[in-house]
Structure 1
Amino acid sequence: MTKETLAALALVYVGFHFLNLFMTFGPMGSKVIHISMGIGVLTLDLLRRHSGRSMKIVAAFAWVSVLAASAYFLSDQIGVLTRYGFASPPDMLAGAVLVFWMFFLTGLYFGVPFAVIGIVFFVYAYLGSYLPAPLTAPALDLLRVTSKLTVGALGDVVELSVTIIFLLLVFGTFLQASGAGAFIWRVAGNLARRIGGGTGALTVVSSGLVASFSGVGAANVGITGPIAIPLMKRDGYTSEQAAAIEAIASTGGQITPPILGMVAFLMADFIGVPYARVVLAAIIPAALFYMGLLLFVVLIYRRNGGQGQIQGEAHAGPAHGWIKVSISFLFPIAVIVALIIAGMSVQLAVFWSIVAIAVLALIFRLERDPKVWLHAVLEAAINGAALGMASGVLDVVMASLDITQLGMIVGFIVSQIGGASVLANFLLVLVAAYVMGMGMPGVAVYTVLAVTLAPVLISLGAEPLMAHFLIMYMTILSNFTPPVAPTLMLTARIAGANYMRAGLEAMKAGAGSILLPFFLFSYPALLLHDASLGAVLEAVIVTSVSIFLLTVSLLGWLGRPISMFERVLLALPPIIAWSAGFAGIRSTYWAAVAVCLAAFIWSVFAGYRTRQKPIAARAMEMERI
């Protein structure tokens, strides 16, 4: 009975979000319904998996308390908003009920650390005035603090969740359920054969394509990981290499157009730019991200003795006509892009793309089993409800940051440590962003860093778009770099790999992506922001060549093992070029760039000549080494 009730509620929950696009439920009604119905979905999901007596008591208590709190908010929406900041006791009690369940369910679905971070900010709003300098927060009336932390939990991040994020989840699950995912494996296989790198290249391309519309690293691993990782292991990659490649490829989707992760929507809302502008800014960084990963994959595959061909059969999905599958995948994405460019709101563009998926599914009959579609609805409802809870926690964090002015405090601390040095402050911001992002969802980290550290980058001369894009980018790196890397943990489990050794491989494979923030800060033209064609070409060429040389130097392989002396010679020019460019020493910069280009041409030529050697000769050379 629980399964049937959950399925019915999931259908109603998804239907409400469609209806919300065309009807109004009051100034805060849609957010209240989104959270309260989401709590119902998640408690039923928990009850389905754990049907013990204690879980039944918890679920019953949740339903009764949330129903009462929601009914109160819905009955007096204008009054609650009018009293915000000076809320009445019933306002705060109803808000506290929703906040409690949001924290509780966030801890269960996103991990205890996420909820603990929210609790820390919650407590800091009350006790910050008692802490020593420089962490001292302004002393405020306790009732005012409570008002903002409870009613404020239904804030802008929850608004974003109910209007955009939920619909994006529906889009992703429906696109996968329609059978259009077969397109990904076909395209990935064809590209991988041209690039070389075997099933490693197949994984990078397929995971990148899937991640570009899922926007969530862990979710993407669940789609492609169980297929791609065993294929890589059979193809000569070690378990650790397979886990690292899948984790990085899945993570990159959060900055890959046309559909970025939730952080991108937060960023657009935070700095007040159209979402299409964020998509435009992400094009070149995403291409450089995957270029660096593909380079590693090709080199490591050939070092292991592979010839660039895909070994084993890639999963290509159901055997449908290629034209039907292609249209079913490309057309809905084209609808989103075209409608956003035409000026339609993101949520309506996503809605019409979902309609396009449904229409094409009826026409082409790619997936006929109703259970598949029902599972897609259920998956979207559960994931959307969980993100709704996390959004409420983030709104509490935002309220705490507003109350305590913590952003100004952290910015002051960083500037005091870094002094007047632009480079020192920049490095401090990167380190702080990385450390704070360990084990945390990107949306949580970005919400905090956008207030605390982005202003520091802006004070160093970065445009707001650049500062926030760097912060957004840094939030994804900890997904695959140790010591705490959630996406890598998942891929390591699938691959049966040692987690720490997989982390070391991820550091090598992701060398290009780890270096990219330095080039983004030095070359704003990479974000296509007020830049000439010449500036864009210079930025792309210098960054690409630098990533190539540094990756080859780190890996120590260029058709043959290269000596430490050669590795140093390859690594020095890009380091000198970046340092001189950062310092504004143009003569040294251009000289180093020239050396970089010469080293790149030599590397390609040397690698090509080595590739022409007979396979047996190369095998004997490897044995001697």
Structure 2
Amino acid sequence: MDDLKKKTTAAPAEMSAEEVMQKFDKESNKREPDGFWGYVISAICILFACFQLYTGIFGVLDAHLQRTIHLCFGMALIYLLYPARASWSRKSMHPVDLVFAVLSVFATMYIFFQYDELVLRAGMNTETDIMVGILGIVLVFEAARRTVGWPMITVALIFLAYAFAGPYMPGIMAHRGVGFDELVSHLYFTTEGIFGVPMGVSSTFIYLFILFGAYLEATGLGKFFIDTANALAGWAVGGPAKVAVLSSGLMGTVSGSSVANVAGTGSFTIPMMKKLGYRPAFAGAVEAAASTGGQLMPPVMGAAAFLMAEFVGVPYIDVVKAAVIPAVLYYTGIWIGVHFEAKKYGLKGTPREELPKFGELLREKGHLAIPLIIIVYLLVTGYTPMRAALYAIALTIICACLRKSTRITPKDFVNGLINGSKGVLGVLIACATAGIIIGVVTKTGVGLKLATALLDLAGGQLLPAMFFTMITSLILGMGVPTTANYVITSTIAAPALVQMNVPVLAAHMFAFYFGIVADVTPPVALAAYAGSGIAGANPMKTGVNAAKLAIAAFIVPYIFVLAPELLMINATAVTVLLSMITAILGMWGLSLAMIGFCQHPLNILQRIVFFLGGLCLIVPGTMTDIAGVAVLVLAFLWQKRNKGGALTATGEDD
């Protein structure tokens, strides 16, 4: 009986970073063949990188041709790297995967070699064209299944079904229907389907930024970020948790996946937090919330920034500027949360003598951060993202050579090309699948219909419309990669807010935020589950804690829709500064309410008062700011009368 009790109450087993990536991030579950097939895959990756660098330097091809070759390389690599079945060997090539790779080359290169005739036929596709189009669409779906999983495929299949079921749909959702051949032609032989805007962005900006990230990683920048965060914050109250927040935020500037960020930095920070005394569920939650915020952190934002610029029709730098203040507020909320969690349980930092010295780090490896600074400067001064990324790649290699310890060898240079090509595959196929969704939307007008339905449900009121858009984005974002996440939510959810005269950029950012927050929102919270795996904690408790830490992400989007100056839309320096100061004070109040501790533990009424005061300060307006300050001052004085000190972290529950 005692043995049974021990088994049922035992904590979940801890997982390595590699095990976490394989379980929660399908993009990382690649085949690593030896011998001949290893060389073949490496050669294809190098050719892929050379094609992208050549067109980046000397000019891209015609849009359809550029995207076709990009998809050809991508799908061939996906079928060679990702086995059809999880049980198949990761060290040898299965004949079925080889057949799929050859078919994918045929289906895409058909467009390349028949391009002039396809243009002359101007949509009058032959029976052969249709057969190739069907093959290409099926291959895109299968490649997406292997790489990004079922959630995105399910959404795309629902849209395909809607295209055919239009005449049988009720009310506002009805449409005349789309013929089979007509839909295949639209999705595969135009630039409004698979080869649409998302694929265009993937074949230009996104690839080069991912290659840039691969070279940054090769120089040891990730380790430099973690060491720097340790030097700056490791000694403070709750030091390792603050290291997790800071390092994950820094890694977010180049990372494209919240799960990858959790595995990369969490393998260092989560054990440190547990050693200090943080509850396992909270340790995993800190890393999950901080890593998810990396997708909201400029300048890359999980590659969604490039798509947002194209969809909204604004310069890329405007998207980056708009994302700055919300990202700062997000990380401020997490930082305050981990600080007061540490004070709540009396958790100290790591002794300074055990930490790296910031000055020494800066002298030894500070040059590695120069390309990040330069790329931001280039973007601000008007360079195109492609040109800025090319200069940044060259500068990364040059800067790495400034010191022997960080120097990139010829082998490292070649591996950078290979890793860049492998790293883009998940984004590439997500963009292709997202193109199917967009193709159905443009053919049927379902985007406008869904927006109208949301507005009807909200009774034409902005706040209910925002709430329903939030729920829609959270559901659509579950288990979907960042880039595809944005495409789906911006296509389906954002138009409802645009119809209510919300600025287009604010509407798209709103939908994007809630799509990303799905990574820490139970029941499908992939980043939180990845963090729980490393921490050996209960996944659901980790998800709940992560959602509490990420409270800013649930509130700030409402605020920047009501007050677009937070996105630097039609704002002056004074309004931006005042909005930011009051919002940070508001985050302080909200975080105290979530953690339940200030100088002493807070009772339920005090937590409610802190929450209301913080909310008033985040909501724009002079009267709400005055009320928020008054409420927080009263709440602070009230809690000072409490008796009691730090608690003891003996369990997983608050």
Question: Whole-Å Cα distance in 1 between the matches of residues 582 and 533 of structure 2?
Answer: 37
Q: Given the alignment of the two structures, is residue 34 of structure 1 paired with residue 70 of structure 2, yes or no?
A: yes
**Which runs of structure 2 are paired with 1:12-23 in the superposition (5 Å)?**
12-21=47-56, 22-23=58-59
**Contact 1:179/1:367, CA 8 A, preserved across alignment:** no
**Which runs of structure 2 are paired with 1:552-571 in the superposition (5 Å)?**
552-571=592-611
How far did 1:145 drift?
1.6
**Contact 1:185/1:316, CA 8 A, preserved across alignment:** no
Aligned to 1:140: 178
**Counterpart pick for 1:212 among 253, 261, 264:** 253
Letter in 2 for 1:270: F
Question: Whole-Å Cα distance in 2 between the matches of residues 484 and 523 of structure 1?
Answer: 30
Bigger CA drift: 339-348 or 447-456?
Answer: 447-456
Letter in 2 for 1:125: A
Letter in 2 for 1:266: L
Question: Whole-Å Cα distance in 2 between the matches of residues 480 and 495 of structure 1?
Answer: 15
Aligned to 2:196: 155
**Counterpart pick for 1:113 among 138, 142, 151:** 151
Aligned to 2:7: none
Question: Whole-Å Cα distance in 1 between the matches of residues 648 and 529 of structure 2?
Answer: 36
Q: Given the alignment of the two structures, is residue 349 of structure 1 paired with residue 381 of structure 2, yes or no?
A: no
Aligned to 1:274: 315
**Contact 1:574/1:593, CA 8 A, preserved across alignment:** no
- Unaligned residue ranges in structure 1 (runs of 5+): 582-588
Question: Whole-Å Cα distance in 2 between the matches of residues 261 and 10 of structure 1?
Answer: 21
Aligned to 1:45: 81
SS at match of 1:433: helix
**Counterpart pick for 2:137 among 99, 111, 121:** 99
Letter in 2 for 1:217: S
Letter in 2 for 1:170: L
Distance 1:310 1:31, change over 3 A: farther
Letter in 2 for 1:344: Y
How far did 1:181 drift?
2.9
TM-score by length of 2: 0.86
How far did 1:299 drift?
0.5
Question: Whole-Å Cα distance in 1 between the matches of residues 421 and 345 of structure 2?
Answer: 44
The superposition leaves residues 358-388 of structure 1 with CA deviations (integer Å, 9 ceiling, x where unpaired) of 1122332314566655544333222212322
**Contact 1:229/1:243, CA 8 A, preserved across alignment:** yes
Q: Given the alignment of the two structures, is residue 471 of structure 1 paired with residue 511 of structure 2, yes or no?
A: yes
Question: Whole-Å Cα distance in 1 between the matches of residues 506 and 330 of structure 2?
Answer: 17
Q: Given the alignment of the two structures, is residue 377 of structure 1 paired with residue 413 of structure 2, yes or no?
A: no
**Which runs of structure 2 are paired with 1:132-281 in the superposition (5 Å)?**
132-151=170-189, 152-193=193-234, 196-281=237-322
Distance 1:592 1:63, change over 3 A: closer
How far did 1:185 drift?
2.2
Aligned to 1:586: none
Letter in 2 for 1:594: I
**Counterpart pick for 1:4 among 34, 39, 45:** 39
Aligned to 2:570: 530
How far did 1:600 drift?
4.1
**Contact 1:204/1:249, CA 8 A, preserved across alignment:** yes
Question: Whole-Å Cα distance in 2 between the matches of residues 432 and 121 of structure 1?
Answer: 15
**Which runs of structure 2 are paired with 1:398-437 in the superposition (5 Å)?**
398-437=438-477
Between the aligned residues of both structures, percent identity stands at 27
Bigger CA drift: 372-381 or 233-242?
Answer: 372-381
Question: Whole-Å Cα distance in 1 between the matches of residues 172 and 578 of structure 2?
Answer: 43
Aligned to 1:585: none
Bigger CA drift: 381-390 or 472-481?
Answer: 381-390
The superposition leaves residues 278-318 of structure 1 with CA deviations (integer Å, 9 ceiling, x where unpaired) of 0111111110000000000101111121134469956999x
**Counterpart pick for 2:629 among 586, 597, 607:** 597
Aligned to 2:547: 507
Letter in 1 for 2:536: G
**Contact 1:2/1:47, CA 8 A, preserved across alignment:** no
Question: Whole-Å Cα distance in 2 between the matches of residues 620 and 452 of structure 1?
Answer: 46
SS at match of 1:497: coil
- Unaligned residue ranges in structure 2 (runs of 5+): 1-35
Bigger CA drift: 169-178 or 420-429?
Answer: 420-429
Letter in 2 for 1:32: T
**Contact 1:105/1:386, CA 8 A, preserved across alignment:** no
Distance 1:601 1:398, change over 3 A: same
**Contact 2:343/2:646, CA 8 A, preserved across alignment:** no
Question: Whole-Å Cα distance in 2 between the matches of residues 465 and 590 of structure 1?
Answer: 25
SS at match of 1:363: coil
**Contact 2:68/2:109, CA 8 A, preserved across alignment:** no
How far did 1:109 drift?
1.3
**Contact 1:26/1:77, CA 8 A, preserved across alignment:** no
Q: How many residues align?
A: 609
How far did 1:167 drift?
1.3
